Structure 1
Amino acid sequence: MEKLLPRFLDYVTIDTQSDPKSNTTPSTEKQWVLAKKLVLELHKIGMQEVSIDENAYIMATLPSNMEKEIPTIGFISHFDTTPDFSGYNVRPKIIENYDGKEILLNTTKNIVLSPEYFEDLLQYKGQTLITTDGTTLLGADDKAGIAEIITAMEFLIQHPEIKHGKIRVGFTPDEEIGRGAHKFDVKKFGAEWAYTIDGSQVGELEYENFNAAGAKITITGKSVHPGYAKDKMINALVLANQFLSLLPPEETPETTEGTEGFFHVHHISGEIEQAKIELIIRDHDEEQFQARKDLIKDITQKINSKYPDSVIVEINDQYFNMKEKIEPAYHIVEIAEEAMIQLGIQPIIKPIRGGTDGSQLSFMGLPCPNIFAGGHNFHGKYEYVPLESMQKAVKTIVKICQLTGEKF
């Protein structure tokens, strides 16, 4: 366990930001730097069948130390970081015995991590926090998960008295751009089920997530001298505004919670002759998810009825709610829940307002709930992770392996 912190600090200083505009896998060459390092480390701690393929997907095995046959289980995390915020030159700060007050992340820019705004901080008074320096993200999403999995495997190797079946671990690129599972070889992985270690606060255990789609709207206008534009000009920017005004204003990320779905406009650009809108569509309920996609099409038809062929929409499904694939194998959730309870951790079973590699893997034949990695405020300069939360994640992984061996 003593290697957990230095291991994590080592990982986060390596820039692994993914790029949604790239068509390669991994989407950025720099992801290979950490990927190759992880392969060496898996060999070093004594893992077997360590492999990395041409797309940087890493797999390794901890063999069973039991005589009876029990199911092979897996643990999966991703090593890329989000393109939404800089992951270059990460300089983590260690705050020991946190006093519950404001943390000055950056003196020059006066960037403060405050419990008045981020109330979860108060849960960790007296603990050791790892934060950013206010200029980058931290990368606990999901380098904390990787550090925890490797530390747990190392602990099991060093403690053969803890009985367990065959365990597979997998590390993926490009999860942050929705491609983490696209080229994951489920058959090669060979597990009956797995857990992504990619959640947030201690106790999180998730087996429901959004159905997700992305929409690209292209609007074509006609540019005419504004002094002579009556009944001739079609302003694509104005039509873009009309399009967005027809979306329900109360159904956005900033106004919804729990299982409530939303439309999220994340990019808009244009001029008179052409405008482009990119948005994402999210809903836990399959029927409501379809209704949201239908609404986008209905708005398109409404505008085109007045301005023929002005609007073209492309909608692509991204991932689906893994609940339907995990409920038939609900014992895998119960094992994780029991592991936490035995460790004195209160399980927090709730839907994910997002998705993980496990969302796609579950539909690829590998049921895969999500477990906490311990971090908070992902994808930005206020990201932090308590060391004690990471330690609890390691213990949870170990206990799941032990319980699986006992129950089968």
Structure 2
Amino acid sequence: MPDLKIIIQHIMSIQNYEHTTAERLMRYVQIDTQSDPSSSTQPSTEKQKDLSRMLVEELHALSITDAHLDEHGYVYATIPATTDGDIPTICFCSHVDTAPDCSGKDVRPILHRNYDGSDIVLPDDTSVVITTQEHPYLLKRIGDDIITASGKTLLGADDKAGVAIIMDLAAYLMQHPEIPHGKIRILFTPDEEVGRGVNAVDMKKLDARFGYTLDGGERGHLEGENFSADAAVVTFHGVSAHPGYAKGKMVNAMKVAAAFLDMLPRNEWCPETTSGDEGFVHPVSLQGELERASATFIVRDFNTAQLQVHEERLKSLAAAAVASFPGSSFEFTVKEQYRNMAEILVQYPEVMANAEEAYRRAGVPCERISIRGGTDGSRLSFMGMPCPNIFTGEMGIHSKQEYVSVQDMNAAVSICVHLAQVWAGK
């Protein structure tokens, strides 16, 4: 059993610590790190490395001497162990890129101290208002310090809040070598927002047994389950003919695709009508010409086996569309994207249990929830490093209404400090 007196001393220490999360986040978000889904390079944009290079310099300043940026855009670093014993190496991971959905260039962060519960009008575009009606979580954060952008861009707390938390954690642990913990690895990734966040991670070099991503939302949330995900492409083939002499000859592939999309249910089976543990099928792009038209879908469900059920249903709708256009045909292809991390975490219950114990020691009520999406952690889990997701406070993500509570970030730092000690105590 861990020494209760030592635990209390460490709790007092972290409570009196002057956190750097707010200052770090407000610097980091001013660096444009938007990723690009249309790029084939690794990373998808070179500008992501601008922040990564800064992080390496800051880690070196903390006396973390092995911190480095590799050619693929990954930052690796080690917080050395402070105690002996057979302690599993754990990793804390966050991504540096911001979503392509909304501009991340020239972000102007604003710190709203002691938030009073009123709507937040953003000064550079007063039509952008963060309301408690649309964001009820704000009502739980009255009295906190809230960081937003200025109204013209997203903030980038997704996931630079996670980056700031890990950097603050590193600063605290390097300042307090008396805290017992094993070797801790740090990983900062590019391209998470375009689904390629861990494509080139060197797992042998990372050399961590278990991991935790810092990329969640509300304080207290602990995410150990996410969607399983496939991408499906339905390609329709038509028949070309001169439009002046097309009677009985032409089959327009775009019309076949339009008929197919019109067959999709409007009141179920789609993101705008599903929640909780319900899966969905969602068209994300459409391209077409007379002879060829294709629709790309994302297919999501917590039950991996259910993906095939969704895909067969989608395939049957495509067949029905083709049947109504004699002479047309279609192809149906599926590509695996990621899988539900719960399938791995169930084999290692100590990973979630230790996190829950860290939440308890930090005085943060823990709520296990499922992610209606994916994280780097889902893929890392299947690459050999079971990796659930811890909250950061990032809310309203991928939009101009993005915000984060400084106190949420600081609470996450405290949890990570306790988590390192929990693993050492085991």
Contact 1:48 / 1:62 at 8 angstroms: preserved in 2? no
Q: Superposition pairs for residues 308-327 of structure 1, below 5 Å?
A: 308=327, 310-327=329-346
Q: Superposition pairs for residues 265-280 of structure 1, below 5 Å?
A: 265-280=283-298
> Structure 1 residues 39-48 or 267-276, which shifts more?
267-276
* Shift in Å, 1:85: 1.2
1:236 aligns to 2:237 (yes or no): no
1:320-378 Cα deviation digits (max 9, x unpaired)? 11111111111110111111122221112011100011111111111001111111011
Matched residues in 2 for 1:371 and 1:91: separation?
26
1:196 equivalent among 201, 213, 224? 213
Contact 2:124 / 2:150 at 8 angstroms: preserved in 1? no
In structure 2, what is the equivalent of residue 205 of structure 1? Answer: 222
In structure 2, what is the equivalent of residue 353 of structure 1? Answer: 372
1:185 is aligned with what amino acid?
A: D
1:3 is aligned with what amino acid?
A: T
2:87 equivalent among 51, 70, 73? 70
1:129 aligns to 2:155 (yes or no): no
In structure 1, what is the equivalent of residue 302 of structure 2? Answer: 284
Matched residues in 2 for 1:354 and 1:272: separation?
35
Matched residues in 2 for 1:200 and 1:172: separation?
19
Matched residues in 1 for 2:69 and 2:293: separation?
42
In structure 1, what is the equivalent of residue 179 of structure 2? Answer: 162
**Are residues 59 and 32 of structure 1, via their aligned partners in 2, closer, same or farther at CA, if it must alter by over 3 Å?**
same
Contact 2:253 / 2:292 at 8 angstroms: preserved in 1? yes
1:195 is aligned with what amino acid?
A: Y
In structure 1, what is the equivalent of residue 155 of structure 2? Answer: 138
> Structure 1 residues 286-295 or 305-314, which shifts more?
305-314
In structure 2, what is the equivalent of residue 113 of structure 1? Answer: 130
2:395 equivalent among 364, 376, 384? 376
* Shift in Å, 1:207: 1.2
* Unaligned stretches of 5+ residues in structure 1: none
* Unaligned stretches of 5+ residues in structure 2: 1-17
1:21 is aligned with what amino acid?
A: S
TM-score between both structures, scaled by the size of structure 1: 0.95
> Structure 1 residues 162-171 or 211-220, which shifts more?
211-220
* Shift in Å, 1:271: 4.5
Contact 1:8 / 1:143 at 8 angstroms: preserved in 2? yes
Matched residues in 2 for 1:90 and 1:32: separation?
17
2:118 is aligned with what amino acid?
A: K
Contact 1:236 / 1:270 at 8 angstroms: preserved in 2? yes
1:208-262 Cα deviation digits (max 9, x unpaired)? 1111111223333345577765433323232112212333331111111111101
Contact 1:269 / 1:276 at 8 angstroms: preserved in 2? yes
1:248 aligns to 2:265 (yes or no): yes
* Shift in Å, 1:144: 0.5
1:123-155 Cα deviation digits (max 9, x unpaired)? 111111001212111111111101101101110
**Are residues 371 and 2 of structure 1, via their aligned partners in 2, closer, same or farther at CA, if it must alter by over 3 Å?**
closer
> Structure 1 residues 99-108 or 67-76, which shifts more?
99-108
* Shift in Å, 1:303: 3.5
Matched residues in 1 for 2:126 and 2:296: separation?
32
Aligned length: 407
1:300 aligns to 2:310 (yes or no): no
2:296 is aligned with what amino acid?
A: E
1:391 aligns to 2:410 (yes or no): yes
In structure 2, what is the equivalent of residue 51 of structure 1? Answer: 68
Matched residues in 1 for 2:287 and 2:347: separation?
45
Is the partner of 2:49 in helix, strand or coil? helix
Matched residues in 1 for 2:170 and 2:201: separation?
21
1:356 is aligned with what amino acid?
A: T
Matched residues in 2 for 1:177 and 1:5: separation?
26
Is the partner of 1:32 in helix, strand or coil? helix
Matched residues in 1 for 2:229 and 2:404: separation?
27
Matched residues in 2 for 1:104 and 1:277: separation?
39
Matched residues in 2 for 1:88 and 1:225: separation?
47
Q: Superposition pairs for residues 20-39 of structure 1, below 5 Å?
A: 20-39=37-56
* Shift in Å, 1:180: 0.7
**Are residues 307 and 361 of structure 1, via their aligned partners in 2, closer, same or farther at CA, if it must alter by over 3 Å?**
farther
Matched residues in 2 for 1:133 and 1:311: separation?
47
* Shift in Å, 1:11: 0.6
What percentage of aligned pairs have identical amino acids?
46
Q: Superposition pairs for residues 60-99 of structure 1, below 5 Å?
A: 60-99=77-116
* Shift in Å, 1:309: 5.1
Matched residues in 2 for 1:261 and 1:225: separation?
43
Contact 2:251 / 2:327 at 8 angstroms: preserved in 1? no
1:264 is aligned with what amino acid?
A: H
